[in-house]
Structure 1
C-alpha cells in the first residue's frame, strides 16, 4: 500500500503547497481541510509553514478565503475529480475511548481488522474525539466527517444521537454494538439477551432462585438487553434484581453488601462486565464468603485476566479473530454502497464452563 505524500526538507512552504495540492486532488480532503494544528501534525511541519502554504493555495484558487474560526474550504482540486469508488478503501473507527484504553478483546479485534484490511491494500484509523458522547454531537460530527473522509465507518459504543446522525446522513457505517430503537443501520454484536437468558437458565438448573445482576451506571443497550434476558427467564419462583454500581471497586462492594442484606439474599451473581466479576470474587473473599460455596458467579463478558482467577470464572467469550472476519466482510459490502451487508447480526459466544457456579 503506497503511503500518503509528505513534504521534503527543502523549501518547506513550496513543498507543503505541492503535497497539500496532491492530497486534495486525490480526494483525501474533498470539501474541507483539517485545522492548522492537525495539518501541522499530519505534515510534520510548523504552523507558520502551514499558514504560508494555505495563503499560497488561496492565491492559486484552490482554497476559498479564510473565515474567522472556520476551516479552509476547497473550491478547486486542480485536477480531475477522483470518483469515490476508485479511492483506496479507508475505514474510520469512532470510539468512546483512546485505543490503548479499550478492553483487550476489542483491541485484539481491531488489530485483526487492521491486518485483514492491510492485506487487501486498505487502511483503518481509530478516532476517539472528546465530544463523541455529548448529547448533541451533530455539528461536531458533520465537521469531523468532512475533515476525515473515509470510505466507511465503524461505531463503538455509540449513542442514539450518533447512530441517528449517521442514518440521516446516509454515510456507510457499521455499528459494532447494539442499535438504539428506531435505528436501521447494519450492526454486529453479541446477542446479550440470549446470552444472559442462557446464564439465568444455567443457574436455575443448579437450584438458584434469587439472582443479582450487576449493571454499570452507563445506559448501554447491550446491558439493558442482558438484564431483560435474566429478568424474563420466566421460571417459577425465579427472582432477579438488577443493581447499578458506579464503576469502582468500592461501588461493586457496596451493592453486594446491600444485596446480602436483602430479606431473601441472592445465591448467585451475574456480572455484565469482567471487572465486576473480578471485584465480586475478591470482595466476597474479604467478607469470608467463598465462590461457589456460598455464592455462585457468572460473567457475561470476558477478558484474558479472568483466566488467572481462582476459581476459574464461569462465563462467555468470543474469538476476536473470528469476529474480525465478520466485521471486515460487512465493512467491504457497506463500503460499496450496500445498506444490507447480510449475515447474522448477532454473535453467539462460546460458553466457558469454569468452576464458579455450584448447586444451592
Structure 2
C-alpha cells in the first residue's frame, strides 16, 4: 500500500518529479530511494518515466549520481527541503480498489486529482483489506501516522471508521451517508428525496403498485431510498420492495417472483444502474415491452445507460460539479478546520427517457 501521493494527469514526468521531491522532503526515504520497479509500482507510472525522473532529481541535486549495483542515495541536503505545512495532501479511504469503483466515482476522483494538482496539492488513494473490520482502530492509527494527509475523503465508510475519525478529530469529508450519532461533514446524493421524486413521476402516470429494487447490502443510501418511496403518501400508491442478491440470476428471479404475484407491480425503480441492464434484457427475453407493459426509472446513472433502448429515465449527477464541491470542502478543512457553511446534499438532475409510460 503506497504511503504517499501518486502522480496526477499533468505532464507525467513533471508530476512524478514533484511527487518524489515532496516525499523526499517529507523524509519518507531517509537515505536511499527504492528500486526502479518499486518506484514505478508505487507511483503508478512506467519505468521509463522513473528513469527520466531520476535524471531530473540528480540534475536538481536531490539524489547523488548512480553507482553500479546500488540504489540511488538521497543527497545530504535534500532532507532539509520542507514541504509546505498547508499543502493539500488529501487521502481517499475506500473499501474497494480503483478498478472496482463505479464509473461516476472514478470520473469524480479524476476531477478531484486534477483540481488538487492545480492548487499544487495531491491525492492519495488507499483501499486496505482491513476496511471492513469491526474495530480498525490500530490500522487507522498506523495509516494516519504514515500517510500524513492534511484531510481525508471517506468513501462508503463503515460506522466504525466514521466514529474513529470523529472521536480522533481527524479532518475528513464523508463522501456518502453518515451513520447515526456521528457529526462529520458529508456530501451525498439525497436518495430519500430522489426516490420520492421518482415515485411521484410514476404516480402521475397512473402507476399505483411500484417495486423498488434493493440490493442485500446494508447501505445507508438504500435505506434512505426506501424511506423516500415509503414516504410518498398519495392516494392508492402501494410501494413494494424487491430484494436482489447482486447477481443477474438473482435479480431475474426476484423480478419474476414480483411479476407473477397476485398483485404485480406496473413499474420498477432501480437503485443501481446494473439492475436496469439486467431487468431490461430479462423483460425483453420474456416479451414484456418497456414501457408498454412495464415502466423503469433508475435513481442513479452510468454512461452505458445512454446505449440502451429504450432510453432510460434516470437521475444524473455531474462528477465534475461534485468534485469541485469536494475540493472546496477539503481546502476549507485544511485551512480553517471546518466546512460548516457548505450544504451536504447533492440533488441529481432528472433525465427524461423513453422507459416510462402510462400504467396499463
Query: Do both proteins adopt the same fold according to a TM-score greater than 0.5, normalized to the shorter chain?
Result: yes
Aligned to 1:272: 271
Offset from partner CA, 1:285-332 (integer Å, 9 cap, x none): 112111111110000010000000000000100111111111110110
Q: 3-state SS of the aligned residue for 1:242? A: strand
Aligned to 1:41: 38
User: Matches of 1:205 and 1:87 in 2, distance apart?
Assistant: 53
Offset from partner CA, 1:211-239 (integer Å, 9 cap, x none): 11011111111111011101110112211
Q: 3-state SS of the aligned residue for 1:315? A: strand
Report the Cα offset of residue 5 of structure 1: 4.5
Q: CA contact under 8 A between 1:172 and 1:337: conserved in structure 2?
A: no
Note the aligned Cα RMSD (angstroms).
2.7
How many correspondences in the alignment? Answer: 307
Report the Cα offset of residue 86 of structure 1: 2.0
Q: CA contact under 8 A between 1:333 and 1:341: conserved in structure 2?
A: no
Offset from partner CA, 1:43-64 (integer Å, 9 cap, x none): 989xxxxxxxxxxxxxxxxxxx
Once structures 1 and 2 are overlaid, which stretch shifts more, 275-284 or 334-343?
334-343
Q: Which runs of 4+ in 1 moved over 6 A?
A: 78-82
Q: 3-state SS of the aligned residue for 1:86? A: coil
Q: 1:23 aligns with which of 23, 26, 41?
A: 26
Report the Cα offset of residue 41 of structure 1: 3.5
List alignment gaps of at least 5 residues for structure 1: 7-18, 46-77
Offset from partner CA, 1:319-358 (integer Å, 9 cap, x none): 1111111111011001124233422211111111101001
Q: TM-score of the superposition, structure 2-length normalised?
A: 0.79
Q: 3-state SS of the aligned residue for 2:141? A: helix
Q: TM-score of the superposition, structure 1-length normalised?
A: 0.79
Matches within 5 A, 1:82-93: 86-93=85-92
Q: 3-state SS of the aligned residue for 2:268? A: strand
User: Matches of 1:142 and 1:321 in 2, distance apart?
Assistant: 32
Aligned to 1:153: 152
List alignment gaps of at least 5 residues for structure 2: 1-14, 43-77
Report the Cα offset of residue 258 of structure 1: 1.1
Matches within 5 A, 1:92-111: 92-111=91-110
User: Matches of 2:154 and 2:213 in 1, distance apart?
Assistant: 25
324 and 21 in structure 1: CA distance in 2 versus 1, 3 angstrom threshold:
closer
